[in-house]
Amino acid sequence: MKRSEIEAAVTTGLAAAQAVSGGKNADYIPFLASVPSDLVGLAVVTTDGTTFKAGDADYPFAIESISKVFTLALVMEAIGAAAVREKLGADPTGLPFNSVVALELHQGKPLSPLVNAGAIATASLVPGTDAESGWAAILHTQSRFAGRPITLSAEVNASEQATNFHNRAIGWLLYSAGTCYGDPVRAVDIYTRQCSTLVSAVDLATMGATLAAGGINPRTRERVIAADHVPPILAEMMMEGFYTASGDWAYTVGLPGKSGVGGGILAVVPGEMAIAAFAPPLDAAGNSVRGQVAVAHVAHALGRNLFAPRAATALPA
């Protein structure tokens, strides 16, 4: 793929996103409501480590639910893909990201590590003897994926911890069902902290490019996770990365992705690149309105959809 094609796709993708309006910043966490709504950033990082960016691509924002992907990766390294599937699941819930109904319907099994219940159960499986060692492992993992030290925003964390009553209830529901694999208070605490780190669209694209490159960070050249763990992680993203809109995303874009209520959107083109965007206003499913437009534009412009045959091989008549 030519450099100029990616550059053009990123430039026109930013303009396409800026041309749409609608949505609303998440306001259930006070910090998120305070982020300027007009910011839009877009970045592509390829598996050879080249970065393309436009707009507010270096603006630091709260990673929120996109963190679920990287804590999943950490836990998969620790317990293996089969145990992740058995304990956390790999299916869409068809319900909102913080649904307790989904848990009740499935005897306390979260179905996916990418919804809150599954992410809290995932946090309960993070190696470490106490909350601080578990948290250090999560932060180290995010940093290795990003290729630079990722840090907690004390302001976002304070805002999240002061309002995370629903997630604490989910922690105890998991615990009572036997699907929280450690202290639920510790699990919810580190889950809340993992959502409160700051990343830019360039960071997110680098994190995704590490998945696209089979687990090797294309900028630092460090192996972050085993290559065998990339396909199940991308499968989880395809199934539940956009919550109740995951099917729509698969239908229209066809790339594994993940959203966060901070306004981040990440999509991975296996073997080639990751595309990431940031724009705070969200739609009803909790996904960035402009971020989805920006990422979808780049994917379409570059002709990247996992379900589209790249080179049709003629069959004998």
Residues that bind ligand DON (CB under 6 A): 64-65, 97-98, 116, 160, 167, 195, 259-261, 286
Long-range contacts of residues 98-102, Cβ cutoff 8 Å, at least 24 apart: 98/166, 98/167, 98/170, 100/169, 100/170, 100/173
Quick one: how far is CA 121 from the chain centroid?
Answer: 16
Short-list 131, 123, 133, CA closest to 171: 123
10 vs 174, beta carbon nearer ligand DON: 174
Tell me the C-alpha distance between 23 and 140, whole Å. Answer: 33
Q: Which residue's C-beta sits nearest to ligand DON?
A: 65
Shortest Å, Cβ 261 to ligand DON = 4
Shortest Å, Cβ 209 to ligand DON = 21
- The string over 13-42, giving b where at least 16 C-beta atoms fall within 10 Å of a residue's C-beta and e elsewhere, is bbebbbeeeebebbeebebbeebeeebbbb
Determine how many CB atoms are found less than 10 A away from the CB of residue 288. Answer: 28
Helix (H) / strand (E) element for 210: namely helix 201-212
Q: Is 316 left (phi over 0), alpha (psi -120 to 50) or beta?
A: beta
- Contact 144/215 with Cβ under 8 angstroms? no
Shortest Å, Cβ 260 to ligand DON = 4
In order of 70, 172, 227, 263, the CA distances from 215 in angstroms are 11, 33, 5, 25
In order of 85, 118, 280, the CA distances from 99 in angstroms are 20, 11, 22
- Contact 56/280 with Cβ under 8 angstroms? no
Determine how many CB atoms are found less than 10 A away from the CB of residue 149. Answer: 10
Shortest Å, Cβ 101 to ligand DON = 16
Helix (H) / strand (E) element for 160: namely helix 154-161
